[in-house]
Amino acid sequence: MDEDQALTAFTAISNQTRLRSVRLLVVAGTDGRCAGAIARALGGAPASRISFHLSLREQSGLVGSPREERSIIYSAVFPALSEPTELLPARVAERRNRMNSDSHPSSDTK
């Protein structure tokens, strides 16, 4: 995952409603949830608002929404959810390694 994709993913969960709804979908697993059920679980937020937030996460690839008869069932896309969180620790480790090698010069300079 490149940095632009990671930024899109982080933006997609950048407010409380978006993050809480993704958490609900993670707990729901592959069964997913419809917007109305998510709205009720979030304390009665309007289903239309939840659908709007879910569509943003769907565009980022974090959420899928296969249609089942007349309902849209949203579910977490687990690989897409884990990739952005793996990017940051990898960058931190790279930076730490560079800092360690810069602070310990080679003994070949004697």
The pTM score is 0.70
At residue 51, what is the residue type? Answer: S
CATH code matching the domain that covers 3-99, chosen among 1.10.10.10, 2.40.160.40, 3.40.140.10, 3.90.870.30: 1.10.10.10
C-alpha distance across the termini of the chain, in Å: 42
Q: Which residue has the higher pLDDT, 107 or 2?
A: 2
Domain boundaries, the chain: 3-99
**106 by DSSP, 3-state: which?**
coil
Whether residue 31 contacts residue 24, with contact meaning beta carbons closer than 8 Å, is answered with: no
Question: CA angle, 21 as apex, 18 and 27 as ends, to 5°?
Answer: 145
**Span 37-65, mean pLDDT?**
87
Give tens-digit pLDDT for 8-46. Answer: 888 878 888 888 888 999 999 989 999 899 999 999 888
